[in-house]
Structure 1
Amino acid sequence: MRYRPSRRSRTTAQAAVAFMVLAGLNAPAVIGFAEAKYHAYEINKPGYKAAYGHWGVADMPAEYQLNSIHAALLPTGKVLLIAGSGNNIKLFKGGSFKSTVWDPVKNTFRKIATPKDMFCAGHSQLPDGKLLIAGGTARYEVLKGDVKRAGGAMLVKNEDPDHARTFPKGTVFVSPGGKKYVAQFPVRVPAAKKTVNKKHGKTIVTVTANQARVYVEAPEDGTQGITDTSAQYGIQGLKGKDRDNFYGLANKLGMDKKDFQGIREAYEFDPWTEKYVKVDAMSEARWYPTLVSLADGKVLAVSGLDDIGQVVPGRNEIFDPKTRKWSKAATRYFPTYPSLFLLQGGDRVFYSGSNAGYGPADDGRIPGVWNLKTNRFTQVPGLKAPRILETSSSVLLPPAQDQKVMVLGGGGVGESRKSTARTAIVDLKAAKPSYAAGPELSEPTRYLNSVIMPDDTVFTTGGSRDYRGRSASNILKAQFYNPATNTFTPAAAPTVGRNYHTEALLLPDGRVAVFGSDSLFGDKDNTVPGTFEQRVEVYTPPYLYRASRPEIHGGPTEVARGGSATFMTASASRIRTARLIHPGSATHVTDVDQRSIALNVKRANGRITVSVPKDSSLVPSGWYLLYVTDRHHTPSKGVWVRVR
């Protein structure tokens, strides 16, 4: 009898034939699908997680998503994400500025009213736990071919010693030939300086004009607004003595490229009320500035693009959180977002050479130690590939007492395709500090994020080989650097590519959260515009897959420098180390706030006592996370402690 397949058998056979035909036609896709499935199986095995850790994407509802440009861990355990206009000129022109607070424990989100465009501002943690944010965006860049109106800097002079004056946005300046230019921002001009001296019995009064600067533009499109000669400009609407006392001076007003422009405004973010509070404005407008905490609790602000789009020429300033006002600091020029680290034992900061870009290729790029009191700058030599430091990562290696700084990767100036796998380490306690080569990264990398971990390692992740991930060059790799062995070990690979506008923070529970990324293009051929990465990816390190973690509780929330604090624990005999880790405040792969301080530990039944160093340049006042680790380097959850 001849066999006759059933309907079900025929269907199955036909499906198998169809699958084999499709598989033959699409072998790479089928193989790729199988490989992806197998990879997902492998990375979720307990043994793999215990060896390499694991990545997961946080579920952020659409209404809270934003282009994260800045990220800061707050003493409440929450994370403040600031976008401002988020590199979106439509949002900028519409005045739509965004911030979100994320609770990584509850995975909840809250929108925050954002008063100014804090896109590309600077920020630093203050001693009372508030976050200082200074600067931001007054104007987006306009490339040369897109410039429609002539414009540039106008110096507004005041020869009246008795009155200051504020001129509003829209003030019109008129040249002797009748050309008009309009102020794009309000400008306040201080009163002239008046000195009275007596000579040979006569009273001599000298008046020196004061001045302020404002960006102006021609009122109409076209080349007719261009002027290449210096001139004095009258101010439309002034009469009598005011017409003589107040006037403008300008040189070239042209149609060349217009860079980003900064703002002077500064705010404190209160973690407990979750509101921005305005403080005194800076004397200089700043876009891409670095803010770094000092030993006395004040904050140093350096660099940035000013109100006409030029790098601030070395005019630095200091914020006093007690008065909420700014004062002048030592003069020193740096390119934008320089990485500066407070050093132990005095009024010195170290410039690692890392920066985020704007400024001449040969000015302010050399690493060195800067004394803020004497304004002396001592260069630090020995760095391989010193011209490939832009968008590099820098970190004060743990523990901070060792006073070693590491620089990792980096790229060439501007939109250069150059990048490097170089790492280098400098011992700043040496008599003559000099960089020495460290172990190389697995491939040339820029925009690498570096995070200090509770077990004295540094976790590094992401980056790209080319400028802003161009040519699909994002690097899906992560690794740990161990300062004790001077080696890298691999970690689980992230699933989300990260380059420009990326931040990474250590969370209180020992995980690492990574935010942002702003690829220039969305394809390998660089033909499709890139989109901003809004997903938040969280890395769980291998130590969180171990059997148990040490625990501490019941201690004080405040401790004095030079003092001690006692905590209850059932793990006293297991505990080997204690570290105070300052919460991170990251932007543009720059986080100068994070540092890890080693504490002395005394153990007893059911408790431990930790001692805090007395040096305020090693342990600046503020909120810290206290972690303890056992002999397997497994850390506890972080406990918030305020150091006064």
Structure 2
Amino acid sequence: MFSAVGRWRHEQLINSMPYKKSHGFWQTVELPKGVRVNAIHAALLPSGRILLIAGSGNKLEQFQAGTFKTLVFDPASGAAHLVPTPTDLFCSGHTFLPDGKLLVAGGTLRYEVLKPDVKRAGGTMTVKNESPDGPRSFPKGTVFVAANGLRYVAGDAFTVPAATKTVRPARAGKPGKVTVTASATTVWVDAAEDGRQYAIAERGQYRIDGLTGDDVHNLYGLSEHMTMDKQDYQGRKETYEFDPVTESYQRVADMHEKRWYPTLTGLPDGSVLAVSGLDGSGQVVDGSQNEIFDPATKKWTVRKDLDRYFPTYPTLVQTARPGVLFYTGSNSGYGPADRGRQPGLWNLTDNSFRPVPGIREPDQLETSMSAWAGPVQKQTMMVVGGGGVGESRKSTRRIDIVDLSAPAPRFRPGPDLPQGTRYPNLVGLPDDTTLITNGARDYRGRGASDNHIARIYHPDTNTLSVAAAPAVGRNYHSSALLLPDGRVLTVGSDPLYADRKNTISGSFEQRIEVYTPPYLFHGDRPAVTGGPATVGYGGKATFSTSAPSEIRSVRLIRPGAATHMLNVDQRSVSVNFTRAADGITVTVPAQRTLLPPGPYMLFAINRAGVPSVARWVMVA
């Protein structure tokens, strides 16, 4: 009875208007069973709908069955429907393009196999081509035969380029010379059958089964070893654009490198930089394979001049300085503890890297999250929470702040969270505050360690205020997005266990929860009732509004595309404006570094701090 009374009193409190005005309010949404998905990725489309990408949803049986899912959810009406998903986009990378489409690249080619479960030896095969006559393509299932007759099967299709032919003409009595340099590509292979006899410890050359004539000598495989060791996840190279109008995937050119857990960062010219991820052998992609997507040609170009190594899902954001990205140190999942972990400024014009010092507990940046604190013009970045590398039990309460506009940027302490927090979700709000919600104290919520708390960070005072507590705990594979009506949607969570003693396997959280911030309980909201659909850099645009004299500020906020504590798209841009009798005239910033081209939500905020429902505009 005492417990029941306590719950009743708590419900009375959180549903009271004074509490909502101070702390906000959470609501839980359960979709019909037929459209529930394991939301690994979440993006707010320019239509106002939410794209939830599951792919195989971290379920091996769905991967093996070829069951891949994507859901489109309308938070305004509650409607939801599945759309065809062409391949396993689980753990891909994504970012918005200038035309409002979402670029989605990479995903899962192969699930990991732990060492006790490995039945077939495997390894990376380097395929060589000594013929300059042209590239050669081979299908998935191509067989490589060792000198002892053992057979190994390629896990994916592959193409090996033509060899390079160099002709040195005769001169000064010296004869001419033709030099042929073999080309190479790599592919993962598995033994054709179970058994340790397929494990080979030494380097060897393998013939490709089925070749005839000169091809027998010109094309062959080399491998350092075939082992029964743990086999990591492997990435895909397929790339798609998701069209928010047709709500369908459209295939574009593949990446040059396979990637699982990559980061895609939009650049001021509308192109996209792809870094890191696990490759087709389960290794972190080397920095020399960083590549850029051109939305005009829809093709990728490897940029060997941008040679910079990062652990998987690194947080890389465009700063106000042309050609300069900031690596916050936040990352997820894979990479050695002593490489690529230092935050710093990466100059793309000369590939230089300037470390930014001062962050506390630098060994606990994995599973942290980073976001701009307030308008991007202030160039203030916050790094929140995190934990030790891998399955470490460490977690930190740290919030550190850095001003990137300073001559010598250095992190300084912000207010600490009440608990150690891995997997926090951060969402910038129209009133310049940041919601920090969810997370867990231990790896993937072990020991029932989910944090059912939320805080709001106030950059003007460098303080936290208490927000209403979410009912749903969320850790690994969770995301949060700002909605056009000023609320926040949270999805996902993939705990290892369902109990405190870690004896019951966890299940993926498919409920959605929506947070209404306190500002939406502070009176009537302003309305933006008319205006252009496209605005230009440095130009002016007039929007009809209710009570123009009450408008205090205007923000352009880029829609989020989130996964794994990574949302490099989200940014709020302060916009100058003037008031008129029936509306406001805004002046769009001219700097593309502050405002990369693409879709934005225009919010008008009144003197009480209440935002309008956003009006969508394209910045071009």
TM class, shorter-chain normalised? Answer: over 0.9
Q: What is the deviation of 1:185?
A: 1.0
Kindly indicate whether residue 523 of structure 2 is the aligned counterpart of residue 547 of structure 1. Answer: yes
How far apart are the structure 2 equivalents of 1:353 and 1:173? 41
Shifted more, 48-57 versus 513-522: the winner is: 48-57
Aligned to 1:66: 37
User: What one-letter code is carried by the residue in structure 1 that aligns with 2:159?
Assistant: R
The equivalent residue for 2:342 is 366
Contact 2:94 2:103 in 1 (8 A): yes
* Partner of residue 306, structure 1: 279
- Say which SS state the counterpart of residue 377 (structure 2) adopts: helix
Q: Hey, what does 1:77 align to over in structure 2?
A: 48
Shift of 1:36: 1.1
Correspondence for 2:6: 35
Distance 2:590 2:178 in 1: 53
SS of residue paired to 1:338: coil
Q: Using the TM superposition, give the Cα deviation of residue 116 of structure 1 relative to its aligned residue in structure 2, in angstroms.
A: 0.6
Larger mean CA deviation between 445-454 and 565-574 belongs to 565-574
For residue 505 of structure 1, give the secondary structure of its aligned residue in structure 2.
strand
Aligned to 1:399: 375
Equivalent-residue separation in structure 1 for 2:30 and 2:439 (angstroms): 23
Deviates more, 1:140-149 or 1:31-40: 31-40
In the superposition, the TM-score normalised over structure 1's length comes to: 0.95
2:238 matched residue in structure 1: 265
**1:207 aligned to 2:180?**
yes
Number of the residue aligned with 1:283:
256
Once the two structures are superposed, what CA deviation does each residue of 1:246-277 show, in whole Å capped at 9, x if it has no partner? 00000111000000000000000000000000
Of residues 225-234 and 565-574 in structure 1, the stretch that sits farther from structure 2 once superposed is 565-574
Match of 2:450 in 1: 474
Quick one: which of 207, 221, 235 aligns to 1:248? 221
**1:202: how far off?**
3.0
Q: What SS does the aligned partner of 1:387 have?
A: helix
**Residue 331 of structure 1: aligned partner:** 307
Indicate whether 1:462 and 2:456 are aligned: no
Where 1:553 maps in the other structure, the secondary structure is strand
After superposition, residues 149-188 of structure 1 pair within 5 angstroms as: 149-188=120-159
Q: Distance in 1 between matches of 2:291 and 2:149?
A: 39
Partner SS state of residue 633, structure 1 = coil
Matched letter for residue 535 of structure 2: V
Task: Name the amino acid aligned to 1:611.
Answer: T
Superimposed CA distance per residue, residues 151-204 of structure 1 (whole angstroms, 9 cap, x where no aligned partner) = 010001101101211111111111222222111111111111111111335332
Residue aligning to 2:568: 592
Shift of 1:570: 2.6
Residue number in structure 2 paired with 1:19: none
Paired letter, 1:364: G
Match of 2:71 among 100, 106, 115: 100
Of 385, 389, 394 in structure 2, the residue corresponding to residue 413 of structure 1 is 389
Contact residue 479 and residue 491 of structure 1 kept, 8 A: yes
Matched, 1:533 2:533: no
- For residue 63 of structure 1, give the secondary structure of its aligned residue in structure 2: helix
Q: Once the 2 structures are TM-superposed, how far is the Cα of residue 206 of structure 1 from its aligned partner?
A: 1.0
What residue number does 2:319 align with? 343
Residue identity in the other structure for 2:300:
W
Instruction: Give the gaps of 5 or more residues in structure 1.
Output: 1-29
SS for the counterpart of 1:573 is: helix
State the match for 1:25 in structure 2: none
Q: CA deviation at 1:394?
A: 0.2
The Cα shift of 1:620 comes to 0.7
SS of alignment partner, residue 199 of structure 1 = coil
Secondary structure of the corresponding residue to residue 401 of structure 1: helix
The residue number in structure 2 matching 1:220 is: 193
Q: Deviations over 1:459-478 (max 9, x none)?
A: 11000000000000000001
Aligned to 1:438: 414
Amino acid at match of 1:356: S
Q: Which segments of 5 or more consecutive residues in structure 2 lack a partner in the other structure?
A: none
Q: Which residue of 1 aligns with 2:292?
A: 318
Over 6 Å off, 4+ runs: none
Secondary structure of the structure 2 residue equivalent to 1:57: strand
* Aligned partner letter, 1:541: P
Asked if the contact 2:204–2:225 (Cα under 8 Å) also holds between the matched residues in 1, the reply is no
Task: State which of 95, 98, 105 in structure 2 corresponds to 1:127.
Answer: 98
Q: How far apart in 2 are the matches of 1:552 and 1:615?
A: 25
TM-superposed CA distance for 1:491, in Å, is 0.6
Q: CA deviation at 1:52?
A: 1.0
Q: Contact 1:195–1:206 at 8 Å: present in 2 too? A: yes
What RMSD over aligned residues (CA atoms) do the two structures have, in Å? 0.8
1:89 to 60, 66, 79: 60
Distance 1:381 1:468 in 2: 29
User: Which deviations, in whole Å up to 9, do the C-alpha atoms of 1:525-567 show, x marking residues without a partner?
Assistant: 0000000000000011111122211112211111101001111
Distance 1:412 1:274 in 2: 39
The answer to whether the 8 Å contact 2:56/2:67 transfers is: yes
Larger Rg over CA atoms: 1
Indicate the SS of the match to 2:254: coil
Report the counterpart of residue 558 of structure 2 in structure 1.
Answer: 582
2:148 match: secondary structure? coil
Which amino acid in structure 1 is aligned with residue 356 of structure 2?
V
Query: How many percent identity over aligned positions?
Result: 55
SS in 2 for 1:202: coil
1:189 is the counterpart of 2:160: yes
Work out the CA distance in 2 between the residues paired with 1:483 and 1:465: 25
Query: Residue 628 of structure 1 is aligned with which of 587, 590, 604?
Result: 604
2:392 aligned partner, one-letter code: S
Offset, 1:205: 1.3
| Secondary structure of 1:537's aligned partner | strand
Structure-2 separation of matches of 1:263 and 1:181: 20
- Paired with 2:570 and 2:346, the residues of 1 have a C-alpha distance of 20
Matched, 1:572 2:545: no
State the match for 1:116 in structure 2: 87
The letter of the residue matching 1:461 is: T
Partner of 1:6: none
Is the Cα contact below 8 Å between 2:523 and 2:610 reproduced in 1?
Answer: no
SS in 1 for 2:562: strand
Q: 1:426 aligns with which of 397, 402, 408?
A: 402
Q: What's the offset of the Cα at 1:59?
A: 3.3
Distance 2:234 2:203 in 1: 23
Secondary structure of 1:224's match? helix
Q: How far apart in 1 are the matches of 2:426 and 2:170?
A: 64
User: 1:605, CA displacement in angstroms?
Assistant: 1.1
Greater Cα offset, 109-118 or 563-572: 563-572
Aligned length: 615
Say yes or no: does 1:637 pair with 2:613. yes
2:184 partner amino acid: Q
Amino acid at match of 1:145: P
**C-alpha distance in structure 1 between counterparts of 2:86 and 2:147, whole Å:** 40
> Which amino acid in the other structure matches residue 67 of structure 1?
N
**Alpha-carbon deviations, 1:276-308, whole Å to 9, x = none?**
000000000000000010010000000000000
Number of the residue aligned with 1:377: 353
One-letter amino acid matched to 1:446: R
Amino acid at match of 2:292: I
- Give the whole-Å Cα distance in 2 for the aligned partners of 1:239 and 1:123: 43
Distance in 1 (alpha carbons) for counterparts of 2:281 and 2:95:
25
Q: Give the conservation status (yes or no) of the 8 Å contact 2:396–2:422.
A: yes
How far apart are the structure 2 equivalents of 1:504 and 1:45?
25
Corresponding residue number in structure 2 for 1:146: 117
Residue of structure 1 equivalent to 2:423? 447
- For the residue of structure 1 that corresponds to 2:575, the secondary structure is strand
Contact in 1 for aligned 2:268/2:593 (Cα 8 Å):
yes
Aligned equivalents of 1:641, 1:236: Cα separation in 2: 56
